[in-house]
């Protein structure tokens, strides 16, 4: 499909500070098809010690890169997906068993880009403005939101994600399994945490609750959530 244009993996609402990631491997990923592995919005060591550079190097540089590379290979066999951006591929393949492998890789490509932006160095703290008010009215305050989000992230069985979404005007905490994403069904995603073991095992071993606590207290990017809330 020589006339297809390259697209970024996700539309960001602000310029990203490009982390150095120019390995031959990643350039090969980008050269192989229409979808690009976007840059991390911070350096690989910028979230340490809550998430180590070793975890980010593998999670971003191997896992996320592999989803993008596999998607680029798969879409060559589905001309009906030609010209679509990543979010459109996710929506077009969701719930279709014959396109499950495409969905899994497109969903994971999108989810990971969203996850990187759901965190920032020296994150945590509190939301502001309209989102702060919505968290108070829909959850009974930030502490109660954090308690429910932590519980959902610990309870999610096996691999998946936990999301803060806006759905029909209300904030909700939604777990999803594997590559599933609330974006595919039209919900507005505000934040997500990856609870696949590859997200935390090097740093926390089996202690997912400690990873979720560190994520809420030290990493969560409330500014990103506020911009998504609008
Ligand atoms: Mn992951």
Given a contact cutoff of 8 angstroms between Cβ atoms, the answer to whether 139 and 172 are in contact is no
Q: Ligand 1 centroid to 227 CA: how many Å?
A: 23
Torsion of CA 214, 218, 224, 227, to 10 degrees: 110
For ligand 1, a single-atom ion, which residues have Cβ within 5 Å?
194, 196
Q: How confident is the model at residue 29 (pLDDT cuts 50, 70, 90)?
A: low
User: At residue 131, does pLDDT exceed 50?
Assistant: yes
Q: Ligand 1 centroid to 4 CA: how many Å?
A: 28
Q: Ligand 1 centroid to 107 CA: how many Å?
A: 11
- The strand pairing partners of 164, in sequence order, are 173, 191
pTM over 0.95: no
Q: Ligand 1 centroid to 204 CA: how many Å?
A: 15
Q: Ligand 1 centroid to 195 CA: how many Å?
A: 7
Q: How confident is the model at residue 21 (pLDDT cuts 50, 70, 90)?
A: very low
What six digits make up the tokens of 34?
């229409």
Q: What is the pLDDT of residue 48?
A: 98
What six digits make up the tokens of 217?
């207290």
Q: Quote the CA–CA distance of 7 and 109 in Å, as a whole number.
A: 12
Q: Ligand 1 centroid to 192 CA: how many Å?
A: 11
Q: How confident is the model at residue 33 (pLDDT cuts 50, 70, 90)?
A: confident
Q: Ligand 1 centroid to 133 CA: how many Å?
A: 31
Helix residue spans in the chain (DSSP H): 24-31, 53-58, 65-74, 86-93, 100-117, 129-139, 142-155, 201-204, 208-214, 222-229
Q: Ligand 1 centroid to 3 CA: how many Å?
A: 31
Picking from 115, 118, 172, the residue whose alpha carbon sits closest to that of residue 148 is 172
Chain centroid offset of residue 82 CA: 23
Q: What is the pLDDT of residue 47?
A: 98
């Amino acid at each position: 499909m020589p006339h297809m244009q390259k697209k970024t993996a996700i539309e960001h609402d602000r310029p990203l500070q490009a982390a150095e990631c120019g390995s031959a491997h990643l350039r090969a990923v980008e050269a192989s098809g229409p979808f690009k592995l976007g840059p991390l919005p911070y350096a690989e060591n910028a979230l340490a010690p809550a998430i180590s550079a070793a975890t980010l190097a593998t999670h971003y540089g191997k896992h996320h890169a592999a989803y993008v590379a596999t998607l680029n290979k798969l879409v060559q066999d589905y001309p009906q997906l030609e010209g679509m951006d990543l979010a459109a591929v996710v929506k077009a393949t969701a719930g279709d068993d014959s396109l499950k492998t495409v969905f899994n890789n497109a969903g994971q490509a999108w989810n990971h880009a969203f996850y990187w932006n759901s965190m920032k160095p020296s994150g945590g703290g509190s939301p502001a403005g309209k989102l702060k008010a919505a968290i108070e009215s829909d959850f009974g305050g930030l502490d109660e939101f954090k308690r429910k989000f932590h519980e959902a992230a610990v309870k999610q069985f096996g691999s998946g994600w936990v999301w803060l979404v806006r759905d029909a005007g209300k904030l909700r905490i939604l777990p999803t399994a594997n590559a599933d994403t609330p974006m595919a069904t039209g919900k507005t995603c505000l934040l997500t945490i990856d609870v696949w073991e590859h997200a935390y095992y090097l740093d926390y071993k089996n202690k997912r609750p400690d990873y979720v606590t560190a994520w809420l207290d030290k990493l969560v990017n409330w500014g990103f959530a506020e911009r998504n809330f609008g």
